[in-house]
Amino acid sequence: MLIAANLIDARAKKCKVVAKGEVKRAYTLKGLLATAGAKSAIEAAGGKME
């Protein structure tokens, strides 16, 4: 979905989510790496990492 939305290059092998700003909605992230700060912000907003 990130490639289809043109958020990352199609040649990217890995993608890592970093904490910047606020997370206001619950998101479910699958197959992505995340920093500890990003993971805690996502989980605090009701989301989860899979």
Tokens of 17: 């989510």
Q: Domain spans of the chain?
A: 16-49
Q: What is the DSSP letter of 41?
A: H
For the stretch 1-50, pLDDT in tens is 888 999 899 998 888 999 999 999 999 998 899 999 999 999 999 999 99
Q: Are 26 and 47 in contact (CB under 8 A)?
A: yes
Q: What is the pLDDT of residue 38?
A: 95
Q: Give the closest residue to 29 by CA, choosing from 18, 20, 11, 21.
A: 18
Q: What is the pLDDT of residue 31?
A: 87
Q: What single string gives the DSSP state of each residue in 12-28?
A: -S--EE---S---S--E
Q: What is the pLDDT of residue 26?
A: 95
